[in-house]
Amino acid sequence: MVQKRKLGNSDLEVSAIGLGCMGMSFGYGPAQDRQEMTALLRSAVELGVTFFDTAEVYGPFTNEELVGEALAPFRGQVIIATKFGFKLDPDGGPRWVGLDSRPERIRQVAEASLQRLKVDAIDLFYQHRVDPDVPIEDVAGAVKDLIQQGKVKHFGLSEAGVQTIRRAHAVQPVAAVQSEYSLWTRKPEAEVLPALEELGIGFVPYSPLGKGFLTGKIDAGTAFDGSDFRNILPRFTPEARKENQVLVDLLAGIAHQNNATPAQVALAWLLARKPWIVPIPGTTKLHRLEENIGAVSVKLSSHDLRDITEAVSRITVQGARYPEHIERMTGR
């Protein structure tokens, strides 16, 4: 079984590797077959995964419905995290049309998510992106009310900056912060991780495998489905992929020495950073799920860790991680 980790000072104990569920329904091309994804989610539980990540906006709604139905037999054995904070297309389109973290909207999302997830309480309720139009104290207060009502157990933030984290945490303790973090997206190291350590907050890296790039299965010639959002990411232009291949080659060499895969080394590096870090790689394939879980058994030596960190520091990753309009949604 997968080892467990505690998210900071909270009593939230989860498997050391979680499962990001977005790609099953949204983001990386057409939605996957529902029966196959249900089987994959249940296999994850059998393999020891107890931490699952979804959001209202994935689909919208369809990912929460899938996760809720698939994990219904495992109530009480698993932790399901979901998110609020996007304004959805009022005409029912698949795209979000802005941010909305007004307290009344948070309450609406919580009620709807409870229904879709088929749970009595949301284990971990993240603000998906910081809403500049709503004071974070009001957001934290709304979640605090939901916690007091027994509808939510823990409060989380996603892509929030240090000031926002501190202000939110003063109103309602934050159990976890989720942000993109991997060998090619290391911005959280500068300010966020030290603040989380000080405050006793867990950290949940999403895209810990660089949206698939760090697995070594994507190169300059890879073609993505027309609906795959990587098509709009500056870091995924063919030119950037060609330049960034040096990072994957480095991982492949270290993986070979450790009898592991590049993905496992990338995840093991994250796990070795702090005992309160829990990455949530996403996948739609059972063999990838098994590979990712196998990273828990990859023990990188201090020498390996130093070599990786030093080598990666010398590589300049080409391309921004998001287009400017999405990058602007990162909180302060």
Q: What is the CATH number of the domain that holds 122?
A: 3.20.20.100
In a domain, 217, yes or no: no
Specify if 132 maps to a domain: yes
Residue 20 lies in a domain: yes
Question: Could you say which of 58, 126, 206, 322 is catalytic?
Answer: 58
**Torsion (CA) 89, 139, 133, 180 in degrees, nearest 10:** -70
Rounded to 5, what percent of the chain is helix, strand, coil? 45, 15, 35
SS (H, E, C) 232-281: HCHHHCHHHHHHHHHHHHHHHHHHHHCCCCHHHHHHHHHHHHCCCECCCC
What's the token pair of residue 319?
Answer: 């391309």
Structural domain including 115 reads: 4-212+274-294
Would you call 58 a catalytic residue per the annotation? Answer: yes
User: How many structural domains does the chain have?
Assistant: 1
Structural domain includes residue 25: yes
CA dihedral 242, 233, 178, 61 (to 10 degrees): -130
Asked whether residue 246 is assigned to any structural domain, the reply reads no
pTM for this model (two decimals): 0.97
Looking at residue 294, what is its pLDDT?
98
pLDDT along the chain (332 residues), means of 10: 94 98 96 98 98 97 98 97 96 88 98 98 98 98 98 98 98 98 96 98 98 95 95 95 93 94 98 98 98 96 91 92 90 86
Asked, for residue 310, whether it belongs to a domain, the answer is no
Q: CA 190 to CA 236: how far, in whole Å?
A: 24
Residue 299 inside a domain? The answer is no
Residue 253 lies in a domain: no
